[in-house]
């Protein structure tokens, strides 16, 4: 993946001309970038590697919020909604691939140009950039909440102290200043390609640990015995495990599963799922480099990758919920902090996830910056593409994006806010609104023709989901007790 000047994305200086050679925006909602595991311009990418690339694009921070989604809508409703989201994702991907064959273009924003000219291209780029900002913000939020826990485990100190290196805000600013910012400023990030692979491996390991810990950890959450001489808690796990620790004040009623639940917080369920599954900006670039590229073959890649991620998401969400039930946190890893003593394997998972996030965030930032540079180039007066101009746009866009995601991560009180707001807006737009709208405009036939019935339903559904989710989330903020 190489850096390309912003003006390369603006139809080579002709705002009313045909789509120019845009740079594929490879990052998804949730979060990950599709980086080729093995690229070959001559042979193309094999089917199996293309599946892995798309899984890279799908897997992200959303996996940490699905257990909370189960608790807020119940097991049965969660399974139903998750299946609906997966089927909607597969169908919308099919629409994108069909439009690629119709138009001959191989970039999401170029499809927008064919449908609505420059406004469509700008709208698509802006929504992709917004989705990537949400994904990066969720990563920074995880750093803010999880890094103090890792330092507590490594140092043996309680992170709830006034020490600066136990402060999540300070740690986020340090990680941004000394790691993320330098990596994000680089014009090329090919050496970070392997972090995408590491991200999928770490999420798979996380799923396995969640399943294992469900059968090992007790419910209700135990509390430590109190030492009668020092009035301090002590643990006696050596011989009897968790059974030697007193049960908490929670009664057993908190450990009963719920199958259908409707509340204000249920509004976060569908946005969290769409945030987790959106991968549409990666589908077209992977299609372009697929060996023997056909629509049927790429659809097979998409279905295989989505079903594999469905299994990971479903398993993590259900078993995470069945570990904590109504006490599950909106960020699943934080739920394990409710136990009185550190859980070694969870500490390992936290460290692995943090490493994957810190080094993968610049990979997501790279295509997001290209999108912002394209928009800036279209808005700013036309200038000759001098070296100083390129560097100025490059640095300015980098600082704008990183400042924005840092502000969001530090201000929002709960990661479900990020999942809810970005999932209900940019994720729904990328998954439902834009594919259906562009297909209705591009595909031949009348609006009421059979081939456009489902896209029309998707188009209307995108407004319903966006409106209902945002309205309910905002209502929850205004009336938290209800």
pLDDT of 253 reads 64
Sequence-separated (6 or more) residues with CB below 8 Å from residue 119? none
Q: How many CB atoms within 10 Å of residue 299?
A: 17
**Per-residue pLDDT band at 50 (split at 50, 70, 90):** confident
Average pLDDT over residues 335-354: 89
pTM recorded for the entire structure: 0.84
**Per-residue pLDDT band at 311 (split at 50, 70, 90):** very high
The residue ranking higher by pLDDT, 235 or 348, is 348
Which tokens go with 194?
């392997």
CA 317 vs CA 63, 206, 294, 311: distances in Å:
7, 11, 34, 10
pLDDT digits (tens, 9 = 90+) for 263-296: 888 888 999 999 999 999 889 988 988 888 889 9
Residues facing residue 33 across a β-bridge: 27
pLDDT of 251 reads 55
pLDDT of 460 reads 95
3-class DSSP state for residue 163?
A: coil
pLDDT of 392 reads 81
The residue ranking higher by pLDDT, 35 or 411, is 411
**Per-residue pLDDT band at 341 (split at 50, 70, 90):** confident
* Burial class of 242 by CB neighbour count within 10 A (0 to 12, 13 to 18, 19+): middle
Which tokens go with 429?
């737009």
Which tokens go with 254?
């908190």
| Max Cα–Cα distance, the chain, nearest Å | 83
φ and ψ at 222, to 5 degrees? Answer: -80, 160
Average pLDDT over residues 324-334: 92
φ and ψ at 385, to 5 degrees? Answer: -75, 70
Which tokens go with 195?
């972090």
> How far is Cα 297 from Cα 63, in angstroms, rounded to an integer?
27
Long-range contacts of the stretch 382-391 (C-beta < 8 A, 24+): 382/13, 385/5, 385/7, 390/5, 390/6
pLDDT digits (tens, 9 = 90+) for 358-396: 888 888 888 888 888 888 877 776 655 677 777 888 888
Q: Beta strand 233-234 with 225-226: parallel, antiparallel or unpaired?
A: antiparallel
Residue 349 · residue 205 · CB < 8 Å: yes
User: In degrees to the nearest 10, what's the CA dihedral of 455, 457, 459, 464?
Assistant: -160
pLDDT digits (tens, 9 = 90+) for 66-83: 999 999 999 999 999 999
pLDDT digits (tens, 9 = 90+) for 231-254: 444 444 333 344 434 444 445 667
pLDDT of 344 strictly over 50: yes
> How far is Cα 305 from Cα 324, in angstroms, rounded to an integer?
29
User: In degrees to the nearest 10, what's the CA dihedral of 350, 353, 354, 356?
Assistant: 160
* Residue-level length of the chain: 482
Cis peptide before 384 (omega within 30 of 0): no
Q: Which domains does the chain have, with CATH numbers?
A: 6-216+267-449 (1.20.1730.10)
CA 376 vs CA 115, 120, 381: distances in Å:
22, 16, 9
pLDDT of 157 strictly over 70: no
């Amino acid at each position: 993946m190489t850096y390309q000047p912003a003006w390369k994305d603006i139809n080579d200086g002709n705002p009313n001309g045909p789509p120019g050679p845009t740079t594929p925006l490879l990052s998804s909602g949730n979060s990950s970038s599709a980086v080729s595991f093995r690229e070959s311009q001559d042979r193309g990418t094999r089917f199996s590697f293309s599946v892995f690339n798309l899984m890279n694009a799908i897997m992200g921070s959303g996996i940490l919020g699905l257990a909370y989604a189960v608790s807020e809508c119940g097991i049965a409703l969660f399974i139903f909604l998750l299946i609906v989201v997966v089927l909607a994702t597969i169908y919308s991907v099919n629409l994108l691939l069909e439009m690629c064959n119709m138009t001959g273009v191989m970039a999401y924003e170029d499809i927008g140009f064919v449908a609505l000219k420059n406004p469509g291209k700008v709208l698509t780029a802006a929504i992709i950039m917004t989705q990537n900002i949400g994904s990066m913000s969720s990563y920074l939020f995880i750093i803010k909440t999880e890094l103090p826990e890792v330092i507590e485990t490594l140092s043996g100190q309680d992170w709830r102290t006034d020490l600066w290196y136990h402060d999540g805000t300070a740690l986020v600013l340090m990680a941004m200043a000394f790691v993320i910012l330098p990596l994000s400023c680089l014009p090329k990030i090919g050496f970070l390609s392997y972090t995408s692979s590491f991200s999928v491996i770490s999420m798979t390991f996380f799923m396995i640990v969640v399943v294992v810990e469900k059968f090992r950890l007790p419910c209700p959450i135990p509390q430590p015995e109190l030492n009668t001489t020092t009035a301090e808690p002590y643990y006696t796990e050596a011989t009897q495990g968790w059974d030697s620790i007193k049960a908490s004040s929670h009664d057993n009623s908190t450990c009963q599963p719920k199958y259908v639940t409707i509340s204000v917080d249920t509004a976060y369920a569908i946005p969290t799922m769409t945030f987790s599954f959106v991968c549409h900006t990666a589908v077209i670039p992977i299609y372009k480099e697929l060996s023997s590229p056909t629509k049927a073959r790429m659809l097979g890649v998409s279905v295989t990758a989505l079903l594999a991620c469905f299994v990971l998401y479903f398993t993590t969400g259900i078993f995470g919920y069945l570990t904590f039930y109504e006490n599950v946190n909106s960020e699943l890893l934080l739920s394990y902090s409710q136990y009185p003593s550190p859980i070694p394997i969870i500490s390992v998972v936290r460290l692995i996830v943090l490493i994957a996030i810190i080094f993968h965030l610049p990979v997501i930032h790279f295509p997001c910056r290209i999108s912002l540079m394209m928009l800036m180039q279209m808005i700013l007066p036309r200038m000759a593409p001098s070296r100083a101009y390129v560097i100025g746009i490059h640095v300015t866009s980098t600082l704008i994006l990183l400042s924005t995601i840092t502000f969001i991560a530090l201000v929002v009180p709960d990661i479900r806010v990020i999942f809810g707001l970005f999932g209900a807006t940019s994720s729904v737009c990328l998954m439902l609104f834009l594919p259906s709208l562009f297909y209705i405009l591009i595909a031949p036939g009348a609006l009421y023709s059979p081939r456009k019935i489902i896209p029309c339903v998707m188009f209307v559904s995108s407004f319903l989901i966006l409106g209902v989710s945002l309205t309910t989330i905002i209502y929850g903020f205004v009336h938290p007790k209800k």
